[in-house]
Amino acid sequence: MSLLKLEKVTKRFGGLVAVNNVSLEISEGERLGIVGPNGSGKTTLFNLISGVHIPDEGRITFRGQDITRFPPYKRAPLGLGRTFQIPRPFASATVRENVAVGAMFGTLGKELSVNECLELADHYLDFMGLRAHADKQAGTLTPVEKKLLEIARALAMKPRLILMDEAMAGMHPKDIDKMVRLIQEVSDRENIAVVAMVEHIMRAVLGLAQRVVVLHQGAKLVDSSTKEALNDPRVVEVYLGHPPEE
Amino acid sequence: MGKRLSTYGPFIPVLALYVIIFLVGKGVQGMWQVMAMLTFYCALGQAFNIFLGMTGYVDFGYVAFLGVGTYGMALSITYLAHQGMTGPAVIIIGFLLALIFPALLSMAVGAVALRLRGAYFAIATIGVNEGFRYLIEGAKIWNGSEGMIFTSELNQVLGRDTASGLSTFWADVYLFIIAALAALVTLHFMRSRIGYALTALREDEDAAKVMGINVTKYKIIAFITSACFAGLVGGTSWALKTPYVFPPEVFEIHYTIEAIIIVLLGGAGTLMGPVIGALIYGLSKYYLSIILPGFQLLIFAPIIIVIIIAFPDGVMGVVKQRLRGTSLARFIE
Amino acid sequence: MLLEQLAGNLFQGLVLGAVYGMATMGLSLIFGVLRIVNVGHGAFIMVGAFVTLWLFTALGISPLVAVPVAFVVGLGLGFIFYYTAIKKLIKAPELASLLATFSIGILLEEVIKLIFGSEFRGYNWALPKIDLGVTVLPLSKLYACIGSIIIALILYLWFNKTRAGTAMRSVVEDTEGAKVCGVNVDRVYANSFAIGIGLTLASGVLLTMFIPVGINPYMGGSYTLKAFVIAVLGGLTSPYGAFFGGLVFGLIENGSYTLFALIPGVEPFALTRFLSFLMLLVILLIRPTGILKGK
């Protein structure tokens, strides 16, 4: 059974069809890249999955439950985590507290005490290499550290699926490699599905994603394994001027 | 034990300050009324901080909760005295009403206003105190604009001696207890998921939602809790201490202003901030009223503006940052 | 008899409503452009009223001349507060700007109290009354109404026909887009705040014509509340929405007063003020983006 299932989902803003009749399935532990240029509808698609927008048509099921009309705060405890393109830590709280918030309101939220959440936070801070910063205010971190913090916070939710919004944009290639490794490792170990949204098919996606979905003008253009997608002439056409090796 | 100390350790210095205020008032000749005023400000700040400080939302109509709390106490004393009831039970029922009235009002206002974000929320609250005042005056509820005077009812319920002891001493002691309780509840929130949720939504409401936080629920928890403490403060300080209530006085926006100054001065969202803010504000107001009577607000208004621009974290915000990582840190919130 | 009275009161409401509307345009302009709620709005109206009072009683200058004077004073105050406080708070959390404008309001009240004292004052602009059929109206109120309409029209033309006005509109629509198109957003902010405050002071002049002896440092509070109801009626970001919101509000206020007066045993004046608060909550509940705004 698939973990997340979108059936003929459509979202319009005024006259503009931002997401057009998109169907999509993601299985447990799978790593998927959603690729599309600016305006292709991928941000809207993300917002539909995380509950920021409600679709006009279609159905979204997650772990067998219909979540089409769920507000975001009801989706997260089911195991749906998310990171933002520009990290949004809770600036005045400490790094540890930020990650603990993830644990507190995630899938285990009801079972863990506050102290257990703080311990779990330390565990993921270790994993992301942020332990030394645990007592700093999150607002004082560097941009790369903030990205790592966001991922730690999402992992502390013990999610079944993490939506990553341009997680690696603007990072140094070295940092990207490290991050890809970390995400792969935790995804395999904890059987977490990852949906990474990126503007371009970059090395990072190739390394991370097993499957690629290409969006074009709100509709699904390609849905295939990463290797096939790379050789698909339609993809090349969408990315004319943006060779895959970028 | 160590764990409990780190959980409730920060309550120790706050409680110590309350005890010091109490002892100075009791021990130093002529200081009781000054200390009682400080306690009122501590309790007001401590109560308001639970909402303004922890959520970052401004309620310009906050004084309405003190007002309806005052009415709760006033009504119970007046009505029950007329029924022939006497004894402390009347006061206890009064406290209950001083909790229930603000709780109901905060639920009604919160149900509308807390769906709204930031600026819209503030706009929605700006008329709550005036609106309620004019409802009471306009529809002549609870004696309308004539207000209620219940000195004789209070005497009848408790006896003359107890009643006068209440207004000169015990009401202020109750205020100490209310202030300390509000501080304890604040700390309890800070140490539980409520506090984490409130911090998250104060910093970034959308991100908080996506993290699984039902922001409306936590805002309402903070709002109702804060309102209930306000009601107790009103019922104690404005009904038991001075057994009369007039709508223009108990819905006077001036008290909202004072609450804002206290919370900001001390450091919004910190545990000790309201106490520090109340001490600074109360003492300077008291001495200014001797040196420069009538000029307090003229002096405080630019001070708030400077704090907002230059020191948005207030006194305790700065202290907390300084102490971060030191062994004192676990005693300060 | 009742209908006649109601018609008369509604007409008076319309006249007052035009002034209310104009008195809210500054609030909406500032919120539309800077996304800052001027909680001290009423205090600026109060300052405008005192400018009128002082010009009239000390120098014998007509309230009509006081309108442009108050506008210029408002521009000055607007620039001063913008560059000393508001500018630093545009990017800060909303809490900061709400509390700052609130404090600015208190500061103005206390300064005016220091200069003029806190008793209620008025001035006597002896103009005749005219009979308009439905009601008898003092000429001064008619001037205030016409003045409001003229100011609203000037603002409309200025917004739509000048470069500076167009720049402001573009910032209201889309701040980032305006930046990309080369609009100096910082200057637009400063100008809008100053003009908003200028308009508000000017409206204070016109409002004095409805309150013969109601000029007082703390008179602004009730106007702040009314202005919020009106602004919310008009969609909060649109000065014209605010103007029409004012007309509607004037009608409701005067109409409801007439009706409340029919209920025995209540104080109709207090109830109309309760009603304006209730309206605010209800509008925010059903349509926070405004009732009168299209789309």
CA angle B244, B246, B252 (to 5 degrees): 125
B312 touches chain C (CB under 8 A): yes
Cα gap A148→A124, rounded to integer Å: 10
Q: Are A152 and A99 in contact, with CB atoms under 8 Å apart?
A: yes
Candidate from B203, B209, B324 with C-beta closest to A90: B203
Q: What is the pLDDT of residue C245?
A: 93
User: What's the pLDDT band for C183 if we cut at 50, 70, 90?
Assistant: confident
Mean pLDDT computed over every residue of chain C: 90
Mean pLDDT computed over every residue of chain B: 92
Sign, CA torsion B51/B53/B56/B61? positive
Sign, CA torsion A155/A157/A161/A167? negative
For residue B314, the enclosing domain spans 2-331
User: What's the pLDDT band for C266 if we cut at 50, 70, 90?
Assistant: confident
User: What's the pLDDT band for B209 if we cut at 50, 70, 90?
Assistant: very high
In a domain, A107, yes or no: no
The pair phi, psi for residue A12, each rounded to 5°, is -115, 145
Beta bridge partners of C98: none
Q: What residues have CB less than 8 Å from B8, skipping those under 6 apart? A: B187, B191
What is the number of CB-based contacts under 8 A between chain A and chain B?
Answer: 81
Whether B199 and A135 lie within 8 Å, measured CB to CB: no
Taking CB atoms and an 8 Å cutoff, what residues of chain B touch C102?
A: 60, 257, 260
B188 touches chain A (CB under 8 A): no
B268 touches chain A (CB under 8 A): no
ipTM attached to this prediction:
0.90
Q: Are B307 and B260 in contact, with CB atoms under 8 Å apart?
A: no
SS3 C267: coil
SS3 B77: helix
Measured CB to CB, residues of chain A less than 8 Å from chain B are 50-52, 71-77, 82, 84, 88-93, 97, 100-102, 104-106, 109, 114-115, 117, 135, 153, 157
Beta bridge partners of A4: A26, A62
Whether A109 and B192 lie within 8 Å, measured CB to CB: no
Residue C255's identity, in one-letter code, is G
- Say yes or no to pLDDT of B150 above 90: yes
By mean pLDDT, which of A108-112, B195-199, C52-56 is the weakest?
A108-112
Q: What is the pLDDT of residue A239?
A: 67
Q: What residues have CB less than 8 Å from B47, skipping those under 6 apart? A: B178, B182, B226, B229, B230, B232, B233, B259
Cα gap C211→C224, rounded to integer Å: 16
Start-end of H helices in B205-313: 205-210, 215-233, 247-250, 254-266, 273-291, 296-310
User: What's the pLDDT band for C61 if we cut at 50, 70, 90?
Assistant: very high
Number of domains in chain B: 1
Taking CB atoms and an 8 Å cutoff, what residues of chain B touch C95?
A: 52, 56-58, 118, 268
Whether B308 and C96 lie within 8 Å, measured CB to CB: yes
Q: How many residues does chain A have?
A: 246
State mean pLDDT over C236-264: 90
For C224-247, the pLDDT digits (tens) are 989 999 998 888 888 889 999 999
Q: What is the pLDDT of residue A245?
A: 47
Candidate from B126, B134, B260 with C-beta closest to C271: B134
Element (H, E) at C101: helix C94-116
Beta bridge partners of A16: A13
Q: Are C185 and C171 in contact, with CB atoms under 8 Å apart?
A: yes
B140 touches chain C (CB under 8 A): yes
- Say yes or no to pLDDT of B328 above 70: yes
Task: Provide DSSP, chain A.
Answer: --SEEEEEEEEEETTEEEEEEEEEEE-TT-EEEEE--TTSSHHHHHHHHHTSS--SEEEEEETTEE-TT--HHHHHHHHEEEE-SS----TTSBHHHHHHHHHHHSTTTTTS-HHHHHHHHHHHHHHHT-GGGTTSBGGGS-HHHHHHHHHHHHHHT--SEEEEESTTTT--HHHHHHHHHHHHHHHHHHT-EEEEEESS--HHHHHH-SEEEEEETTEEEEEEEHHHHHH-HHHHHHTTT--TT-
| Closest chain A CA to residue B326 | A135
Whether A105 and B210 lie within 8 Å, measured CB to CB: no
Cα gap B217→C291, rounded to integer Å: 28
The pair phi, psi for residue A57, each rounded to 5°, is -140, 160
Q: How many residues does chain C have?
A: 295
Candidate from B58, B109, B297 with C-beta closest to C99: B58
In a domain, A81, yes or no: yes
B200 touches chain A (CB under 8 A): yes
- Say yes or no to pLDDT of B236 above 90: yes
Cα gap C228→C38, rounded to integer Å: 10
In a domain, A65, yes or no: yes
For B52-87, the pLDDT digits (tens) are 999 999 999 999 999 999 999 999 999 999 999 998
In a domain, A35, yes or no: yes
C277: number of Cβ within 10 Å: 25
Find, among C178, C62, C66, C67, the residue nearest to C127 by Cα. C62
Token pair listed for B156: 């009848």
Residue B297: give its domain's CATH number: 1.10.3470
Q: What is the pLDDT of residue A242?
A: 52
CA angle C85, C87, C90 (to 5 degrees): 110
Element (H, E) at C78: helix C63-81
State mean pLDDT over B11-18: 94
B23 touches chain C (CB under 8 A): no
Candidate from C114, C270, C281 with C-beta closest to B138: C270
Q: What is the pLDDT of residue C294?
A: 41
Number of domains in chain A: 1
SS3 C121: strand
Give whole-number Cα distances, A196 to A36, A77, A86, A155, B161, in Å. 11, 20, 14, 14, 75
B51 touches chain C (CB under 8 A): no
CATH topology of domain C2-118+137-286: ABC transporter involved in vitamin B12 uptake, BtuC (1.10.3470)
Token pair listed for A137: 């205010």
Q: What is the pLDDT of residue C24?
A: 96
Q: What is the pLDDT of residue A43?
A: 87
Q: What is the pLDDT of residue C145?
A: 95
Find, among C37, C270, C265, the residue nearest to B121 by Cα. C37
Token pair listed for C247: 């007309």
B191: number of Cβ within 10 Å: 17
Q: What is the largest CA-CA distance in chain B?
A: 60
Whether B213 and A101 lie within 8 Å, measured CB to CB: yes
Whether C222 and B309 lie within 8 Å, measured CB to CB: no
In a domain, A178, yes or no: yes
Candidate from C271, C284, C285 with C-beta closest to B139: C271
Candidate from A50, A91, A93 with C-beta closest to B210: A50
Residue A229's identity, in one-letter code, is A
Find, among C4, B182, B165, the residue nearest to B190 by Cα. B182
Token pair listed for C87: 């500018």
By mean pLDDT, which of A59-68, B33-42, C267-276 is the weakest?
C267-276
Taking CB atoms and an 8 Å cutoff, what residues of chain C touch B124?
A: 280-281, 284
Taking CB atoms and an 8 Å cutoff, what residues of chain B touch C259?
A: none
Whether B211 and A91 lie within 8 Å, measured CB to CB: no
Whether B206 and A71 lie within 8 Å, measured CB to CB: no
Residue A79: give its domain's CATH number: 3.40.50.300
Taking CB atoms and an 8 Å cutoff, what residues of chain B touch C224?
A: 126
Element (H, E) at C129: strand C129-131
pLDDT tens digits for chain A (246 residues)?
Answer: 789 999 999 999 888 899 999 999 999 999 999 988 877 888 899 999 999 999 999 999 999 999 999 999 999 999 999 999 889 999 989 999 999 999 999 998 888 999 999 999 999 999 999 999 999 999 999 988 999 999 999 999 999 999 998 877 777 888 888 888 889 999 999 999 999 988 776 666 777 888 989 888 889 888 888 888 877 888 777 765 454 444
Candidate from B253, B304, B309 with C-beta closest to C221: B253
Token pair listed for B112: 């509308």
| Closest chain A CA to residue B6 | A115
In a domain, A166, yes or no: yes
